[in-house]
Amino acid sequence: MRREPPQRLAHYGPLFFPAGMLTVFFVVPFATMIAVSFFQRQQGGFYTPAFVFDNYARFLSLFFGKVLGFSLFLAVAVAVACVVIGIPFTYLLSRSARKIQIVWLVALLSILSLSEVMIGFAWSTLFSRTAGITNLFVWLGLMAQAQALTPSFGAVMTAMTYQAFPYTVLVLYPALVRLDPTLTEAARTLGASPVKAFLTVVVPALRNTILATLIMVFIFALGSYLLPQLLGRPQHWTLSVLITDQAIYQSNMPFAAAMAVFLVLVSLALVGLALYAGQQRQAK
């Protein structure tokens, strides 16, 4: 059946329900949030319609700057760690037998879908004094006494890398599977070692993919909300934590909304950049 432009009203029929749902329950809430970000906060958790920039002006505080700076730094660190491990891993995976690929994909999907609460709980157990990994080190004679490794920056960083790693592999996977295998074969025939062939042929060929993946993982990490709370100290809280804290516990919806709008702008700018990088890839 050829694709045709819709001519009669009935042709639009299938669109009514999806378009209506997405408009009412995504576009309208989004617009409400933007509107609330300009509202005036009242004492006791209420807010009244207004058009003030007070909520945005609060961004200029040192505290907010620190939280924002830390969130961005953490997300960048996680994205870099995931991509550095993820590229060789996904490359080797895409060259493995189909059966092995499927087993890994099922495992990665299962971990990716695991609740952030459960990932946080699992790592806090592994980093605990009584059941943690330090007991293994003591047994091996590497440490004198078992100790708790949380709360710490290292714990937050490790758990967030854990959470984002399956995502990274799944983002990289399509590009790496489609990578022409003759590229590396040619390099090998000309005498390059596998590692050298990987670094000098595969990595440069994937430059735009890597950039797009870094950005995607960065945004993914920016959304991490429970891990900094469960495994870090208050100075390790991210913008996502702060937004929820303001919305639920401080009952300051306008300020929470303003921060969320800001987060959207940062994310959208980066998604745009990722799409642009992706298109450059297609064009090549």
Partner 1 sequence: MTALRRLFFVVVGLFLALPLIVVAGVSINARQTLAFPPQGFSLSWYGQIFTNAEWRNALIASLTLAASSALLALLIALPLAWFLWRRIAPWANIFQLLGVAPFTLPPVITALGLLTFWATTGFYGQAWTAVISHGIFFVTLPLVTLSLGFSAIDRSLVEAAATMGADDRVVFRTVVLPLILPYLVSGYAFAFVLSLNEYIVAYMTVGFTVETLPIKIFNALRYGYTPTMAAVTVLFLVIAAVVFGLVARFGDLPKLLGAMSDER
147-206 residues near partner 1, rule: CB under 8 A: 162, 165-166, 170, 173-174, 177-178, 194
Residues 9-68 that bind partner 1 (CB under 8 A): 11-12, 14-15, 17-19, 21-23, 25-30, 32-33, 36
Shortest CB 135 distance to partner 1, Å: 7
Select from 64, 77, 80, 121 the one that contacts partner 1 (CB under 8 A): 121
DSSP assignment of 237-261 equals --HHHHHHIIIIIS--HHHHHHHHH
Contacts of 226 (CB under 8 A, 6+ apart): 116, 117, 120
Shortest CB 284 distance to partner 1, Å: 18
Distance between CA 205 and CA 102 in Å, rounded?
A: 25
Could you tell me how many residues of this chain bind partner 1 (CB under 8 A)?
87
Shortest CB 201 distance to partner 1, Å: 15
Select from 74, 214, 222, 231 the one that contacts partner 1 (CB under 8 A): 222
Distance between CA 201 and CA 194 in Å, rounded?
A: 10
Q: Which range touches partner 1 (CB under 8 A), out of 5-13, 58-66, 201-209, 276-284?
A: 5-13
Select from 5, 44, 191, 234 the one that contacts partner 1 (CB under 8 A): 5
Shortest CB 62 distance to partner 1, Å: 23
Shortest CB 120 distance to partner 1, Å: 8
Q: How far is CA 197 from CA 7, 137, 150, 184, 223, in A?
A: 55, 37, 40, 6, 35
**Long-range CB contacts for residues 153-159, cutoff 8 Å, separation at least 24:** 153/232, 153/236, 155/123, 155/124, 155/127, 155/231, 155/232, 156/74, 156/227, 156/228, 156/231, 156/232, 156/236, 157/74, 157/77, 157/78, 157/81, 158/123, 159/119, 159/120, 159/123, 159/227, 159/231
Site map (CB under 8 A) of partner 1, residues 78-117, x = contact? -------x--xx--x-x---x--xx--xxxxxxx-xxxxx
**Residue 279 touches partner 1, criterion: CB under 8 A:** no
Shortest CB 22 distance to partner 1, Å: 5
